[in-house]
Amino acid sequence: MKIRTGFDIAFESVQPTPMILALSVHPSRMPDVLTPHVINFDPPIPYQDYRDSFDNICTRIVTPPGRLTISADFVVQDSGQLDAYAPYAQQIDVQYLPSDVLVFLLGSRYCDTDKLSETAWSLFGGTQPGWARVQAICDYVHDRIRFDYMCADATRTAWDGFMQRHGVCRDFAHLAVAFCRCMNIPARYCTGYLGDIGIPAVPDPMDFSAWFEVYLDGVWYTFDARHNTPRIGRIVMARGRDATDVAITTNFGYAHLARFDVHTDEVY
């Protein structure tokens, strides 16, 4: 399967504004990119790519005064397979986890585990450790939060999402990640492309998507509390502790978002 994907984003600034972009495909998927993977800037500006501590490809720029358009369009080869299903995958005791995985057990900016630990154990302490426990968490979060684009809030934490019971895909992911960490299951937040492939077309505007991965039996497995069903065609862009680490753009100053278009479509 081939997937054509990309974006067209515009910012308007009144003064030069430093920014960090997390708009590249993750290095783990770069071998699948079939056409040039280039981020275009209009007007042309200098930029610098680097790898962050989570091995994401980030791009440093300074927006000029006025409008800056950032875009990309490329084709990715995909297996066409659904997310992996491993119902017998087991949870690893904390003392046996690799050291580089331990950070994904800790609370973070949007995953306030200290506020949710007691609730998590009361809800999921009786579930079977491992895959079944993670699925129980997904089922609960999927039912508890109502998806609503109009309720997007960049400051909402997992605890806030639990209490307010509405949000967007990042809120589903944050709450599920926080619950997993409370239950000593390493969990990391992911962002990327997820088109309407293998499902009926969705009328909502295309957007980047958020999901999460958990570490079971020495493997990172994909889960998605918003959709709560295996999907085809995920293209990961960045992974981290939460949305802070994988923000599509991080501005050091004010820049007005003037346009935001994302496309992800199967091509033949």
Given a cut of 90, whether residue 103 has pLDDT beyond it is: yes
| Stretch 33-43: mean pLDDT | 97
Pair 64, 186 in one domain: no
Number of domains within the chain: 2
In a domain, 86, yes or no: no
pLDDT, mean over the chain: 96
Q: Quick one: 43 and 163 in the same domain?
A: no
- Residue matched to tokens 């990327």: 192
Of 73-77, 114-118, 151-155, 248-252, the least confident: 151-155
Per-residue pLDDT of 203-226, as tens digits, reads: 777 889 999 999 999 999 999 999
Mean pLDDT along residues 173-189: 98
pLDDT-based confidence at residue 23 (cuts at 50, 70, 90): very high
* Residue 158: CB atoms within 10 Å: 28
Confidence of residue 133 (pLDDT cuts 50, 70, 90): very high
> How confident is the model at residue 200, as a pLDDT?
86
pLDDT at 50: 98
Return the bridge partners of 67, or none.
12
Please enumerate in sequence order all residues whose Cβ is within 8 A of that of 33, keeping only pairs 6 or more positions apart, or say none: 25, 74, 75, 76, 77
Predicted pLDDT of residue 268: 76
Question: Is 115 strand, coil or helix?
Answer: helix
| pLDDT, mean of residues 81-101 | 97
Q: 38: exposed, middle or buried (C-beta count within 10 Å: 0-12, 13-18, 19+)?
A: exposed
- Gap between the Cα atoms of 267 and 76, Å rounded: 10
The answer to whether residues 23 and 139 belong to one domain is: no
CATH number for position 177: 3.10.620.30
Intra-chain end-to-end CA distance of the chain, in Å:
7
Mean local confidence (pLDDT), 125-141? 98
Would you say residue 263 lies in a domain? yes
So what's the pLDDT on residue 152? 87
**b/e burial code for range 6-17 (CB count within 10 A of at least 16 → b):** bbbbbbebeeeb
Tell me the average pLDDT across 100-109: 97
With CA atoms as reference, report the closest residue to 68 among 236, 253, 204.
Answer: 253
pLDDT in tens, 140-155: 999 999 999 888 899 9
Pairwise CA distance, residues 92 & 170, whole Å: 26
Percent of the chain surpassing pLDDT 90 = 94
- Is residue 21's pLDDT more than 90? yes
**What strand order describes the sheet that includes 219-223?**
219-223, 209-216, 187-193, 235-240
Residue of 260, 255, 259, 261 whose CA lies nearest to 12: 255
Q: How many angstroms separate the CA atoms of 155 and 165, rounded?
A: 15
Would you state the pLDDT for residue 180?
A: 98
Angle at the Cα of 255 (from 148 to 4), degrees rounded to 5?
60
DSSP conformation letters of 157-186:
-HHHHHHH-EE-HHHHHHHHHHHHHHTT--
pLDDT at position 240 over 80: yes
Are 64 and 145 in the same domain? Answer: no
Residue 202 belongs to some domain of the structure? yes
Residues 12 and 45 in one domain: yes
Domain that holds residue 26: 2-79+248-267
